[in-house]
């Protein structure tokens, strides 16, 4: 029997979806059924109503493959759930587009209130500003995340060989069955079929492809310095903020400052991390990275390396310019540690209280909120999808009811006018 999650939303009226509602997650597996009520609540808002402190609620996040992007997605989905925001979602699964730039309306869920523009994007896409602008305001910040390219490629190799096997990797795995990791680092071309389409690969400059690098003459582009420089300039113009996986906590604090969110909005537990493999798995072999191997691999992953190094430098310079950043980062790390410890232990405490400080109002985290933070990626996406479908259906019923009332009112007015004419 396939494992899956389902979700039901209990509403207290049409307005204030989360103010008086709760989510019921039901886990159905081969051996057990488990359900739990999860109440989500945003942190207390800052009492200062100055527009300069008003949080930004629209975010376009490019979910780059194997770069801690599922953890960021969890943060964004929880944020959307607590504020009844609209999320652009595929009608099924967790991918909007991976093999091309187009996002046909027929493949995505309709807006819950029938509007043209959504609030949040955090599912896999191949970025194209023209397509994105069909669904999001130009004012919605564009955010991406990058990871050290070799680490990202190795993570993709393991994931798409063990968790979600891709046939494109079969050739290399068969050629290096006892040590695919070092086989890949030394002969990456063996892990990609000849003349295969660039977007069919997850181990060949995939971060740049996710961010919209042109696929035409892609293999020649690795040696085209001017084309890569132009692409970096394009990213610089299109994106407001680029997170760095190796500085994840720093990235979250900077993102919080940029979006003017609360500390509670950015707390997290790792999601979709590296799989646990049997001790005999060849994918557990330690990489033997010599200077020659590193230089050779950089040529294979040239576009990703140039993009990563450029935005890493920019990111580190940004850290230096932020006032009192070390103090806020230290506070965030302490809170993260406390929340992780609370969520990981099966104790009698149902709630942890985080005291107020210079960087946060007082807030609480419940065991129920821990469950949402730990919910697997596709399950949480499916939960939000069900919630939005319910909101969409409620919206349609409300519009139909208003139309019926309007029609009845018009009919009564016509009837009264007829009687008046006869009199």
- The pLDDT tens digits of the residues spanning 214-225 come to 999 999 999 999
What 374-379 contacts at long range (C-beta under 8 Å, 24+ apart), as own/partner pairs, is 374/269, 374/271, 374/343, 375/5, 375/25, 375/74, 375/271, 376/5, 376/271, 376/272, 377/70, 377/73, 377/74, 377/94, 377/271, 377/272, 378/93, 378/94, 379/4, 379/5, 379/25
Averaged pLDDT for residues 367-391? 95
* pTM of this structure: 0.84
- Element spanning 336, H or E: helix 325-344
For residue 217, what are the CA distances in angstroms to 69, 193, 241?
A: 28, 16, 28
Tell me how far apart the alpha carbons of residues 30 and 42 are, in angstroms, rounded to a whole number: 34
For 80-135, write each residue's pLDDT tens digit.
999 999 999 999 999 999 999 999 999 999 998 888 899 999 999 999 999 999 99
pLDDT tops 80 at residue 242? yes
- Exposed, middle or buried, 298 (CB in 10 Å: 0-12/13-18/19+)? middle
- Exposed, middle or buried, 166 (CB in 10 Å: 0-12/13-18/19+)? middle
Q: What are phi and psi of 244, to 5 degrees?
A: -120, 125
Any idea which residue has 């540690």 for tokens?
A: 337
Higher-pLDDT residue of 277 and 231 is: 231
% pLDDT > 90, the chain: 72
Least confident of 10-14, 86-90, 233-237, 272-276: 10-14
pLDDT tops 70 at residue 65? yes
Tell me how far apart the alpha carbons of residues 378 and 358 are, in angstroms, rounded to a whole number: 36
DSSP codes of every residue in 43-79: PPPPS---GGGPPP--EEEE--TTSSHHHHHHHHHHH
Averaged pLDDT for residues 1-8? 37
Averaged pLDDT for residues 242-258? 98
Averaged pLDDT for residues 152-181? 94
Tell me how far apart the alpha carbons of residues 269 and 170 are, in angstroms, rounded to a whole number: 33
pLDDT at 412: 57
pLDDT at 42: 61
150 touches 247 (CB < 8 A):
no
pLDDT at 347: 73
pLDDT at 266: 98
Higher-pLDDT residue of 345 and 61 is: 61
pLDDT at 29: 40
185 touches 143 (CB < 8 A):
no
- Element spanning 146, H or E: strand 142-146
pLDDT tops 60 at residue 163? yes
pLDDT at 413: 56
pLDDT at 44: 55
182 touches 100 (CB < 8 A):
no
- Please calculate the CA angle 127-229-296 and round it to the nearest 5 degrees: 95
Least confident of 19-33, 186-200, 256-270: 19-33
**How does 221-247 read in b/e, with b if 16+ C-beta sit within 10 Å?**
bbeeeeebeebbeebeebbebbbbbeb
Averaged pLDDT for residues 374-389? 95
pLDDT tops 70 at residue 315? yes
- Element spanning 5, H or E: strand 4-10
pLDDT at 53: 79
Which 3 state secondary structure label does DSSP give 172? Answer: helix
Please state the three-class secondary structure of 185-240 as a single string.
HHCHHHHCCCCCCHHHCCCCCHHHHHCCCCCCCHHHHCCCHHHHHHHHHHHHHHCC
66: which 2 tokens? 């194997």
pLDDT at 416: 55
Give 144's DSSP letter: E
Domain 53-366 - what CATH class? alpha beta
Give 165's DSSP letter: -
Give the end-to-end CA distance of the chain in Å, rounded to a whole number.
73
pLDDT at 409: 59
- Element spanning 264, H or E: helix 263-266
pLDDT tops 60 at residue 3? no
Which 3 state secondary structure label does DSSP give 245? Answer: helix
Averaged pLDDT for residues 312-324? 97
pLDDT tops 50 at residue 403? yes
């Amino acid at each position: 029997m396939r494992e899956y999650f389902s979700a039901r939303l209990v509403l207290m009226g049409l307005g204030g979806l989360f103010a008086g509602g709760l989510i019921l997650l039901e886990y159905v597996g081969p051996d057990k059924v488990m359900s739990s009520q999860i109440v989500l609540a945003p942190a207390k808002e800052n009492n200062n109503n100055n527009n300069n402190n008003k949080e930004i609620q629209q975010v376009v996040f490019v979910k780059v493959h194997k770069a801690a992007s599922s953890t960021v997605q969890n943060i964004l989905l929880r944020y959307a759930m607590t504020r009844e925001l609209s999320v652009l979602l595929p009608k099924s699964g967790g991918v909007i587009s991976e093999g091309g730039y187009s996002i046909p309306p027929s493949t995505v869920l309709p807006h819950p209130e029938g509007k043209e523009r959504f609030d949040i994007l955090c599912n896999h896409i191949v970025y194209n500003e023209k397509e994105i602008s069909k669904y999001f305001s130009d004012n919605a910040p564009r955010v991406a995340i990058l990871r050290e390219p070799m680490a990202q490629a190795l993570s993709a190799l393991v994931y798409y060989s063990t968790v979600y096997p891709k046939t494109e990797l079969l050739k290399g795995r068969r050629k290096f069955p006892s040590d695919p990791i070092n086989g890949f680092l030394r002969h990456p071309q063996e892990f990609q079929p000849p003349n295969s389409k660039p977007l069919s690969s997850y181990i060949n400059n995939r971060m740049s492809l996710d961010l919209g690098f042109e696929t035409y003459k892609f293999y020649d582009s690795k040696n085209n310095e001017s084309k890569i420089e132009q692409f970096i300039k394009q990213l610089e113009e299109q994106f407001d903020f680029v997170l760095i996986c190796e500085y994840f906590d720093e990235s979250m604090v900077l993102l919080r400052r940029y979006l003017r969110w609360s500390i509670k909005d950015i707390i997290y537990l790792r999601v979709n991390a590296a799989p646990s493999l049997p001790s005999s798995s060849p994918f557990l072999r330690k990489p033997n990275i010599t200077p020659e191997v590193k230089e050779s691999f950089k040529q294979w992953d040239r576009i990703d390396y140039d993009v990563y190094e450029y935005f890493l430098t920019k990111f580190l310079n940004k850290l230096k310019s932020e006032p009192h950043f070390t103090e806020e980062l230290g506070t965030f790390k302490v809170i993260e540690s406390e929340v992780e410890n609370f969520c990981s232990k099966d104790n009698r405490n149902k709630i942890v209280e985080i005291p107020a400080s210079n960087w946060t109002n007082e807030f609480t985290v419940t065991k129920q909120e821990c469950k949402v933070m730990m919910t697997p990626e596709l399950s949480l996406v499916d939960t939000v999808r069900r919630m939005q479908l319910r909101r969409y259906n409620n919206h349609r019923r409300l519009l139909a009811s208003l139309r019926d009332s309007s029609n009845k009112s018009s009919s009564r007015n016509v009837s009264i006018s007829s009687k008046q004419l006869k009199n």
